[in-house]
Amino acid sequence: MMSRAILVASALVLFGLNAPAFAAGDAERGREKSQVCQACHGVDGNGIGDPQYPLIAGQYADYLSQAMRAYQTGERQNVIMQGFMATLTAQDIDDLAAYFASQKGSLDDLSHFK
């Protein structure tokens, strides 16, 4: 019985240590915050038909968060994106990343390769 309690306690500690890796944004809140993004990235992140704007739907949330933070710090350079990112909190970024990651990307449809 004691070893089971130790095992459960150990699992909880290990899960707790990894909690930041599992931290996720709220996709619904991200959808609400995405209004300004839609002008270039489209309503669902699949773009507006202009190849100069990246398709972000279906990208990994951690990639999107990292990219947005890189614009915020100036590590990635784009005047427009830096301006938008300057106003966002860490939670805003995670929420936006969760929303766009949850969208089906237009590149997910590989039927045109048949």
Say how far residue 101 (Cα) sits from the centre of its chain: 6
Measuring CA to CA, how many Å separate 4 from each of 17, 18, 111? 20, 21, 50
Domain ranges, ordered by start, for the chain: 24-103
Q: Which fold has domain 24-103?
A: Cytochrome Bc1 Complex; Chain D, domain 2 (1.10.760)
Distance CA 34, CA 23 (A): 20
Can you give the pLDDT of all 114 residues of the chain as single tens digits? 556 655 555 554 444 444 444 458 999 999 999 999 999 999 999 999 999 999 999 999 999 999 999 999 999 999 999 999 999 999 999 999 999 999 999 866 555 445
Which residues, in sequence order, are CB contacts of 78 under 8 Å at separation 6+? 71
pTM beyond 0.85, yes or no: no
